[in-house]
Structure 1
């Protein structure tokens, strides 16, 4: 994975709580990127290093990289408050397998909500640059018209590309808006009547992902036709009221950390006041690689080789303990 220093060349407000930054390389050239991939941005907050993974909202045809960030969470809020034109920032990447290049389809249906629009926007622009007359359906869900990222740009693309059909599903909207509320099977049937002939690309907050994937399954879409990426893994089911727990022993210090059934290694470490590098928190970027000894369950093995798995390497953000384990990072 490439690490490089970027210079901020533009900052733009997209909505009341979302902004986009454009970056050019300080010395290096930008590495090749696939639409839908992510980068990890590194920063310091109160003298401590932090990092966070963000999807590139730029397309591979662009001469610079763009990230579009909602002002929520420690690192994102810090970037909103401090990152200005002319500033330098370190980035790792790109990475990620959620893209139309790795998962091609002649007639895609893009479903997104909130900040989940960022990979869709990149993939949409890239696909239309390659196939201007592509048959694409794009359904985006948001709270209100003021919360729709890239609203004007989407309208423009739909006007100049006859094969593109866009629809906004809004929880709060004027009475004459055709799609008010949350996405329903009836809406899907009207907006994508040929659903079973398409592949679906899904991205958004965990509750939206769960509801949409369940809906698609109930409508008979095969698992092979659904490709998805979420911002953060769904929260683990809370453990039943019990004293049962495992012990997570830190190899370097010998410190023992309590970890509950279903709790990720990263969550247990942070609850105990330990600091661990973590960016995407979705088992995608590999920033939280660690070595374990003991019985674990991995929810993601992305970025891990067969040799890594044999050696006990895991991604702390998407790995749970099945017994007492030893951890090195």
Structure 2
């Protein structure tokens, strides 16, 4: 512990945090480690498969699958940044994480999480253009526009995360240093602060609210226009095909926004904070695992491309 003088009070600056320990029973620790390891490996393999086939298969060189590949890329690192310290705590006697390590994890979790939030909005707009303006789809969703959109969402994610990271790096922690969470996140860390957190909480609620609500509004407007267009179609087959291309995206949006919304857009009470880690487990570990499964099971083109890629690799070379 490092001593510092602040307003004539002796404070002890925290240089190490202890994250939530899921269980003190050694046998259960191993079981939980195996459980989360299976989820993590499934996440990596699933998203890596999506990333590979969307890059290698010539039939998937469209904006929709370009964005899907970016989503898979984000989920790989998002899940890795979230569970890294969890695995260390399962296997090591020392359960702590340094102050610097905690700030770094907070940055990457918010950076990748915000980027995914914005990317899902862009994917919703892509579906709108594809269904409502099919004749102009290739002109609107050209390669330059898609790359620019991806660059913008990465910048939004970076700036949003940088704001929270700088905010937390200037927050005073003088003990206790046990975070009721398995990752370093803003809300549980603020409960440990010795200084005023009013400004931090206002920034967290409004800035995060603006980002989330803007993206969610974009998705809602896109799908209202999509539905109004689809119901006017005379062909039942055309309506079914249009809805099927949107089902996977809507499922992912529902899973991600519902859990993230509960996490950040609700009262900052101790009762809710007590169960933050339950919600966080879902959107940081379970949702990245389900995303490739959802897109594979609901999309015949992705399933076909995946099977062609596997069969092509396994077939003997002449």
Q: TM-score, normalised by structure 2?
A: 0.23
Q: Which has the higher helix share?
A: 2
TM-score for the superposition, normalised by structure 1? 0.22
Q: Could you say which structure has the higher strand fraction?
A: 1
